[in-house]
Amino acid sequence: MSLVLRLLILWGTSEKVQGKASKLWLQPLNETFLQTGELPSGFLWGVGSAAFPTEGSWDADGKGESVWDRFTRHTDPSSNSYIQWEEDLESVRYLGVNFYAFSLSWTRIFPDGNAKAHPNPAGVQHYRRLIGKLKELQVEPVVTLFHWDLPQVLQERFGGWLNRSTADVFADYAAFCFRTFGAEVRYWITMHNPFLLAVQGYGTGAHAPGETGDPADPFIAAHNLLRAHAKAWHLYDKHFRRHQHGNVSITLGSHWVEPLHGQATPTNLELCQKAMEAVIGWFAEPIYGSGDYPESLKASHRGVIPEFSAQERLWIKGTADFFSLAFGPEMLRVGQGLARFGQTVKLDLRSVLVWVQQTYSDPQLLLAESSWFSDASVGVQDTKAIYLMKRFIMQVMQAVSVDGVRVFGYTAWTLLDGFEWNHGYSIRRGLFYIDFSEPERRRLPKTSAHFYRRLVRDNGFPAENTPHIEGRFPCDFQFGVSESVLQVHLRPFSPQFTDPQLYRWNLSGDGTLSPVMGILLHTRPVQCTDFLFIQRHLFLLGVTGSAHYRFALDWTQLSPGGDPEKVRFYRCVLMELQRRGIRPVVTLYHPSYRSPSLGLPEALHADGGWRNASAVEAFVSYAAFCFHKFGEFVSTWITVNEPNRLTEAYTEDRKTVVRNLLLAHAKAWRIYDERFRQKQGGAVSLAIHADWVEPANPFLESHKSAQQQFLAFELGHLLDPLIGGGNEGRGNGFSKAERAELKGALDFIALNHFTTRLVAPWENVKPQKPEHGCALMTDITWPASHLRQALVPWGLRKMLGWVRDRYGDRLPIIVMATGVDDQAVHDDQLRQSYIRSYLQEALKARELDGVNLRGFYIWKLQDHHDLQFGLFSSAAHHSQPKASISLYRDIISHRGFPSAADLRPLTCRDADNGTSCELCTRIAENKPLLFFSISLLIHTRTLFHWRKSYYGLWIC
């Protein structure tokens, strides 16, 4: 970071942080799940450019030399906009914007900068034509008088902006422009981002004129820039406003900073406020605030920073008709070094907008520059630029709709690729690509231009899918909770009726129990109710109102042959579920990265795991054992959970692993079909991880192809051999007999769906290319959880539609697991939004798209340790219920989303889960008591069972 910028930031920390805006670092802005929406009617969409980077023709038709011409030694492979201006306007017309913001070249109108001399006719005529044509196209011109390209003569004669006289010369130039072009111009910008000019032009030397002199120079230049702006505004206000009815402002740049690592200490908060005051506040406070520089700036630079007299303060205050803001990469580059002072720079346009709103009395606001940049090699396929633009515009929408900021226009920067100041041609910011090696300088629309065009047409992001619908799921629809491996818990165990000993309490006055010697009581055999874990666990399940419960057996505990006590534990779980009217869905093998053996018996894992065909036979034997021992209680089986995720654990031989997993499933299905189905009447499937993907760049056919390629690989290579759809099992080296065994070995389609991602063709040449040949990413504008899982409800509906379209509707579909992590202890708003919105999309898929969807299972019942996916916190956190339980139970009781005229719970006798106890009914009727009531009951039941377990049978 430059010495000048350090001086701007590192002043003393004795002053307290002032103003309403300071609370932005203490109290974050309201979280919003906004993904779609439109900006207010009449919102102005625009595109902008600057003269020096695009016009070229630096000395054509009498144009004079600017400081940037000198600074760059007349580098001129430009966009040639002076000659090809009509092509520029054709590009503007293509975008469909309301306005075009551009700057005038001072030296094209007055070659030596002197507005009292005769103007250059060619320059004046050029801008007359440009403005006139824009008006014909019904595109409003937004004209900037000065975008850094000061006449070189003024730099040599006066020292540029270090001389007060330059402000007077600028005022003369402004008056000429108002008089000459003002009849056609409603919006004027006096100058663009004077902060960068002052700091980098007269401090660091990175910008023209490249001065690196006295540390006071940036403050002197800024002082004169402010005076020049004020002079121009007063001229317009006094002589032109009455007839031209225009508006005049100045574009100020800003970044956004936050305390490093979120450490909101008083010192860090103060530094954040001062960082904003040192950048945007340096120029905004005199104009929109007190009429003077920020107190923090003045206090640390007395004797260096110029002072405004009392009369000047009154004169400069209020010299803007709206607030014009620039938010781009240059400002953030300048601020990158702030992290070392307890701050971090963020791409948070929304916070900047709210800071301006709260600091400067809620002005009307124009985004005069907003964009990011791409590498020059990107060409027209600027996918990342699309999502950064989308991010900024979403932040504008949030600021307008949630925070009430009065933004009235947005300027995409910039129209064309050009000379990017001190970065030259190494980066690109244009919506239209230019190959500077071609003399024709053709304007080629990038994909960001197509995106922006659609955005302007739609006035934002209208919802792609149907809005909220009313309706109910049928009585046979499975509302459930899904869990991973249900570990065997042989303790705690209640020996209340199995301990023959009789006890006396407090015999010696010490409050303990003493056995009565010589007396033994009759006992009864152990029963399922003795497993205290089962009672507590299924009590939690009952509170959710779910009629179905999916859990996995622990293969490592049941193989080989099965420990009788562990078999009894699982049978007791199933019997207790049956007693409570809850139907189990049992997964035979749920791979886990937490397990060193991936959930396989250790001997199998040591022998190569799923690389070895022996795992297939071992699994089939294990499946047959489970069907035999537990099948009388189980109507739905999942053989393997997410085989497409399991294969990622095998860096080599993935095709062999997939082959063995599919054969293991098919053989298990055949055994069930031949030996158990007739008596047990169940259904068998395998659960596929099925997140949706969208083309990262919807304007490129290659990205659309990548979407289909990814889905065909992710789902097709597992489901095609079982159902059909194009592969028929031939891609994994199956024999004819094996293909026959695979074909039809599926009773329903089980999908685990959590989120949606973006997909693009793999462009990295590294050897770690994924098998599907695609790169995955996330839309940064999508709401996301703590673990960065994006919430995209419509992705579920699209996934269900894709599966239906590919495989038909012969087999029903069940969403076997879906959920989101949420850090809330109780009021888990994110999870509530997830459950509500994803179930809405499930209902739309059934009712509007005709998808044969039969079930929806929430992942999962209880956290293991930290607050994540559970409807209840972990046992270590006292199994506290979260608010989403009440929401889910309410949806289940109404079987969906009935109309307001029909809110009565729907009674489904056949689907009754047996949990409609008096307690649960009262909880449903008194939702605010949910948290307290369940917590108290869980605690009481736990204490009661613990006393029975510890003391056995006791007497007073």
701-759 pLDDT, tens digit per residue, is 999 999 999 999 999 999 999 997 545 544 567 899 999 999 999 999 999 999 999 99
Asked whether residue 465 is assigned to any structural domain, the reply reads: no
pLDDT, mean of residues 383-398 = 94
Please report the pLDDT score of residue 494 as a whole number. Answer: 58
Asked whether residue 568 is assigned to any structural domain, the reply reads: yes
Do 489 and 407 share a structural domain?
no
Do 502 and 437 share a structural domain?
no
- Distance separating alpha carbons of residues 828 and 472, to the nearest angstrom: 25
Do 619 and 552 share a structural domain?
yes
Do 443 and 345 share a structural domain?
yes
- Distance separating alpha carbons of residues 537 and 547, to the nearest angstrom: 15
pLDDT, mean of residues 791-811 = 96
Asked whether residue 18 is assigned to any structural domain, the reply reads: no
The one-letter amino acid at 319: T
Please report the pLDDT score of residue 867 as a whole number. Answer: 87
- Distance separating alpha carbons of residues 56 and 79, to the nearest angstrom: 7
**Ranges 33-42, 603-612, 908-917, most confident:** 603-612
Residues 6+ apart with CB under 8 A from 820: 754, 785, 789, 791, 830, 831, 834, 869
The one-letter amino acid at 451: F
Q: Determine which of 185-194, 246-255, 384-393, 501-510 has the lowest per-residue pLDDT on average.
A: 501-510
874-902 pLDDT, tens digit per residue, is 988 889 999 999 999 999 999 999 988 77
Q: Which residue reads 């929430």 in tokens? A: 858
551-579 pLDDT, tens digit per residue, is 999 999 997 777 888 999 999 999 999 99
Please report the pLDDT score of residue 336 as a whole number. Answer: 65
% of the chain at pLDDT higher than 70: 88
pLDDT, mean of residues 317-333 = 93
CATH number reported for the structural domain that contains residue 507 in this entry: 3.20.20.80
pLDDT at position 832 over 90 = yes
Asked whether residue 803 is assigned to any structural domain, the reply reads: yes
Please report the pLDDT score of residue 68 as a whole number. Answer: 96
Per-residue pLDDT band at 766 (split at 50, 70, 90): low
Do 362 and 262 share a structural domain?
yes
Asked whether residue 397 is assigned to any structural domain, the reply reads: yes
Do 496 and 444 share a structural domain?
no
Tell me whether the omega of the peptide bond preceding residue 63 falls within 30 degrees of 0, making it cis: no
Q: How many helices (H) and strands (E) does the chain have?
A: 35, 31
pLDDT at position 550 over 60 = yes
Higher pLDDT residue, 211 or 532?
211
Do 399 and 350 share a structural domain?
yes
Asked whether residue 467 is assigned to any structural domain, the reply reads: no
Domain that holds residue 811: 478-913
pLDDT, mean of residues 69-76 = 85
**For helices 532-543 and 918-925, what crossing angle results, to 10°?**
40
Per-residue pLDDT band at 403 (split at 50, 70, 90): very high
pLDDT at position 927 over 60 = no
- Distance separating alpha carbons of residues 528 and 932, to the nearest angstrom: 29
Please report the pLDDT score of residue 17 as a whole number. Answer: 43
Do 397 and 489 share a structural domain?
no
% of the chain at pLDDT higher than 90: 72
Asked whether residue 62 is assigned to any structural domain, the reply reads: yes
- Distance separating alpha carbons of residues 584 and 577, to the nearest angstrom: 7
Name the residue among 201, 287, 190 with its Cα closest to residue 229: 190
Higher pLDDT residue, 772 or 861?
861
The model carries a pTM of: 0.86
- Distance separating alpha carbons of residues 230 and 224, to the nearest angstrom: 10
Q: Which residue reads 């949420």 in tokens? A: 822
pLDDT at position 780 over 90 = no
The DSSP code sequence of 44-89 is: EEEEE--HHHHH--TTGGGPPPBHHHHHTTT------TTTSHHHHH
pLDDT at position 524 over 70 = no
Do 131 and 65 share a structural domain?
yes
Q: Residue 907 carries which DSSP code?
A: P
Asked whether residue 301 is assigned to any structural domain, the reply reads: yes
149-179 pLDDT, tens digit per residue, is 999 999 999 999 999 999 999 999 999 999 9
Q: Are 431 and 452 in contact (CB under 8 A)?
A: yes
pLDDT, mean of residues 386-413 = 96
Do 403 and 313 share a structural domain?
yes
Please report the pLDDT score of residue 909 as a whole number. Answer: 60
**Paired residues of 814 in beta bridges:** 750, 855
Q: Which residue reads 């402010």 in tokens? A: 226
Do 527 and 453 share a structural domain?
no
Do 315 and 242 share a structural domain?
yes
What the block records as the tokens of 4 is: 């000048």
Q: Which residue reads 């007063």 in tokens? A: 234
The one-letter amino acid at 683: A
Please give the mean pLDDT across all residues of the chain: 88
What the block records as the tokens of 170 is: 């600028």
User: In total, how many domains does the chain have?
Assistant: 2
pLDDT at position 914 over 60 = no
Residue after which a domain boundary falls, among 875, 890, 913: 913
